[in-house]
Structure 1
């Protein structure tokens, strides 16, 4: 079928007007007089050189005593029939964007902005699959707000962490070394800058430590998963750039590693709520309750916190908090974070909850905040 034959499938509205004029015995000059327009305006429409505007559709409706929609619909049908078919890439790009945050992934440098065929190939390599419709969930333990399912944004973030971790070189994982490090964590919790040692210390235990800026709507704080039985990965977003949040999330994920959560499972997801939403919820999975308890006890031992709170509440002075933190060997911001949770007062002494991402940027594998981790796709 030729292009010319396609164009006559739906006639131009001018043909209907000519037929109506013949039926009524009117000339084009008669119609122009009735409409109050120049004769040339009518001729352009009846000859198919000009379309019918909404205003003209209303005028023709009055002239021929029919609905204005009649002429408007004739014009729309003609235009739709003769509109050029869209680039097939439009539909394919829409399917990609509907499934994954493609535009954001391109913006972050995870994918190159290429033609649709190469883009689809990149997406398949990114998710380690040969079919766009066959992207599984990884076995992981992640701190995020929603337990119902892993969203496309969350899944893309997880695979980015996996992609980076897969290219990192680390010794075989040693549970004994990690347990020793976890026991020694308080040594690094008094001064914010001591956080800079964590990437190196975790690597010595065989734990791949990655920081990837979160994607919009992902709401993930951290994740733990395994590349294989001897290669655990801990990924953080540091979306809450505070000393108390860093230590809580890190210790939470390390508890998942020590417990082997998600190890060797294809879809064994262990998903956690974020720090602020966790609170005292008792409907969390056992693995999450255990990880939360370990993280809270690491930040401030439960017995010590209870004793201090019982003695000082409701009149807890700032100097008492600083003294308590000094006795425990903790940064005041860590203690403030635990007390804020206990009192449900997240505006209290916030100046002590210092930012810490700066101490990680030069010592960790980081992807985000303008930097793209150098990995191959």
Structure 2
């Protein structure tokens, strides 16, 4: 909100001098009234000394005014004088811009990740606004989000919106073939089998691009609490993966979950982003996407689980199902047939190195 500032204000000392003239008092007379040295009054009138709370109270008592009157006169003049100083105003403008940037985005993190390259605040503001698809800080967000949790009171956080903006920006710099729903579904049904070899994740981005989907890895933002997202960019479906969880089965399920959103027609071409925190409760489209992702991950019925599950049983059943053992373990944990603390997950494979091998261009 802009506060109107008077065209010109005058120092409190000048007004005090006028008051003394009106009373026919000299500065020496007034100093005697105050019980102060004459130099004290002279320096206040000349503006060399600021009025303090104590001196304002004395002046007010002598002239029949309040202490606040003199303090306000002085502050109003000093603020007006400050408003005329271009250097100070430039500094204040930079302070305001930095505050707006802080509210909109985690700037230090975006600098670290390479999405912001500018060093001066105004250029940083331009890059951040461009990243978020906004023309100014006052514009509504250039990214809209679909409801994704049973608790609709949970708002999208600054970190989550920034992460989605980075996914969109990265995806916009990637190429992909025309989208084919059938080809995507066919590919999705092979992912669990391919994932038996963790190194296969390195090929996923290329495979998805061949069926018209831009698959992007943007490392999770600390505290972002997101596994993935799905959106449309330039008419192409986009899947963003954060790598949260690290484990092969968790990353695989996130990819399949976002793929399910695409196959089920949940995406709309209005910039709306589906954000997924798969540790949260599912609702509406999320439950539907969870169900399809589960079927894509393991298409055959699960075997009966013995009272005591050994690694040999896991390996045998995973081989029968055509999936990696950790994929089966993850499913059994999700169903409650295995404890989340089971030792069977010890040395579970991670695929972050494979995700980091994907193309991740930073838009200019």
- Give the TM-score normalised by the residue count of structure 2: 0.73
**C-alpha distance in 2, partners of 1:347/1:31?**
83
Kept after mapping to 2: 8 A contact 1:209/1:365: no
The residue aligned with 2:351 is 356
Cα deviation per residue 1:46-93 (whole Å; 9 max; x = unaligned)? 222322133433454566575432322121111122222523955983
The residue aligned with 1:257 is 262
Residues 201 and 326 (structure 1 numbering): CA distance in 2 closer, same or farther, change over 3 Å? farther
Matched, 1:236 2:241: yes
Q: Secondary structure at the match of 2:190?
A: helix
The residue aligned with 2:3 is none
Residues 361 and 42 (structure 1 numbering): CA distance in 2 closer, same or farther, change over 3 Å? same
1:304 corresponds to which of 286, 291, 302? 302
Cα deviation per residue 1:130-162 (whole Å; 9 max; x = unaligned)? 787376547x87978975776665555444333
Measure how far apart 1:246 and its partner are: 0.7
**C-alpha distance in 1, partners of 2:277/2:213?**
22
Residues 216 and 327 (structure 1 numbering): CA distance in 2 closer, same or farther, change over 3 Å? closer
Of 244-253 and 89-98, more deviation after overlay is shown by: 89-98
Matched, 1:323 2:313: yes
Kept after mapping to 1: 8 A contact 2:115/2:362: no
Residues 300 and 353 (structure 1 numbering): CA distance in 2 closer, same or farther, change over 3 Å? farther
1:293 corresponds to which of 288, 291, 294? 291
Kept after mapping to 2: 8 A contact 1:334/1:353: no
Count of aligned residue pairs for this structure pair? 346
Q: CA RMSD in A?
A: 4.3
The residue aligned with 1:93 is 97
Kept after mapping to 1: 8 A contact 2:143/2:165: no
Q: Secondary structure at the match of 2:189?
A: helix
The residue aligned with 1:369 is none
Measure how far apart 1:348 and its partner are: 5.3
Residues 228 and 69 (structure 1 numbering): CA distance in 2 closer, same or farther, change over 3 Å? closer
Measure how far apart 1:117 and its partner are: 7.6
Residues 48 and 186 (structure 1 numbering): CA distance in 2 closer, same or farther, change over 3 Å? closer
- Give the TM-score normalised by the residue count of structure 1: 0.71
Structure 2 unaligned spans of 5+: 1-5
